């Protein structure tokens, strides 16, 4: 054994190299901890009720696939899309303000995450019926009657070609019905109607196809039975 090999075997000559290695590993760890902290910003919010809670209007299997597969995929793909970009660490609301300059993956998956978060919240078991209070007054004042509003909103969902969403939006202090393609929403700078959404309806086929197949209007008619008007009222109050 020569002198160098001998000293190396005792650890003398490897100390400096080991410290460098440890430093490199520590830096990598810190970086990934930092990243995972930021990345944890976009998480799959749990469904606020059981998969079968909206039956018979929306079936359990549809809800399970919709939340655990579709919504989960938007969350995962959004995290991948913003990782290492200037958008990392920003809120979706912030990102939507200049979505026209963001990559399509951020627009599609960011919208997918945000829109479904709202959609789950504005539905619930043993809901439906009619709104009350200030939001009811605003609906009646803007659209003549609740029935007329239902007709216009249903029509916005039914006539949205392909995949998309119907919206009830507070825009410039007024209620407006609109619809958007794909995963776009009224918070995005590219939206025709801009404002704060207080009610939304997912009219993608994945939202209804298992139970309703091509009958989107039947799905929409049944959906009114699960609308959570208390939640809509709360959102109306804070949007005004």
Contacts of 68 (CB under 8 A, 6+ apart): none
**184 binds Mn ion per the rule CB under 5 A:** no
Distances in whole angstroms, Cα of residue 145 to Cα of each of 130, 137, 150, 173, 176: 11, 9, 9, 19, 14
Minimum CB separation from Mn ion for residue 17, in Å?
53
**74 binds Mn ion per the rule CB under 5 A:** no
Whether the CB-CB separation of 63 and 52 falls below 8 Å is answered with yes
**96 binds Mn ion per the rule CB under 5 A:** no
Minimum CB separation from Mn ion for residue 116, in Å?
6
Minimum CB separation from Mn ion for residue 34, in Å?
32
The candidate with the shortest Cα–Cα distance to 79, out of 39, 112, 46, is 39
Cis peptide, bond prior to residue 56, ω within 30 of zero:
yes
The stretch among 2-10, 90-98, 204-212, 225-233 that binds Mn ion (CB under 5 A) is: 204-212
What count of other Cβ atoms lies within 10 Å of the Cβ of residue 212? Answer: 19
Binding residue for Mn ion, selected from 42, 96, 165, 204, defined by CB under 5 A: 204
* Residue-wise DSSP of 103-119: -HHHHHHHHHHHHHHHH
From residue 150 to residue 169, what is the string marking binding to Mn ion with x (rule CB under 5 A)? Answer: --------------------
Nearer of residues 112 and 131 to Mn ion, judged by Cβ: 112
Binding residue for Mn ion, selected from 202, 219, 222, 231, defined by CB under 5 A: 202
* Site for Mn ion, rule CB under 5 A: 202, 204
């Amino acid at each position: 054994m020569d002198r160098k090999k001998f000293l190396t075997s005792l650890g003398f000559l490897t100390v400096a190299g080991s410290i460098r290695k440890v430093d490199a590993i520590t830096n990598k760890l810190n970086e990934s901890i930092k990243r995972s902290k930021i990345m944890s910003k976009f998480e799959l919010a749990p469904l606020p009720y059981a998969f079968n809670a909206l039956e018979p209007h929306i079936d359990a299997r549809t809800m399970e696939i919709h939340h655990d597969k579709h919504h989960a995929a938007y969350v995962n793909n959004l995290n991948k899309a913003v990782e290492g970009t200037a958008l990392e660490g920003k809120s979706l609301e912030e990102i939507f303000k200049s979505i026209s300059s963001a990559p399509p993956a951020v627009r599609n998956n960011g919208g997918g995450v945000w829109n479904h978060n709202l959609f789950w919240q504005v539905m619930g078991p043993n809901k439906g019926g009619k709104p009350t209070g200030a939001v009811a007054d605003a609906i009646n004042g803007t659209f003549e009657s609740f029935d007329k509003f239902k007709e216009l909103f249903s029509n916005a969902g039914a006539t949205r070609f392909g995949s998309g969403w119907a919206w009830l939006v507070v825009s410039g202090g007024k209620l407006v019905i609109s619809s958007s393609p794909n995963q776009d929403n009224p918070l995005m700078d590219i939206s025709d109607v801009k404002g704060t959404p207080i009610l939304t309806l997912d009219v993608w086929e994945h939202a209804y196809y298992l139970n309703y197949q091509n009958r989107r209007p039947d799905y929409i008619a049944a959906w009114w039975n699960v609308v959570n008007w208390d939640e809509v009222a709360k959102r109306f109050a804070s949007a005004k």
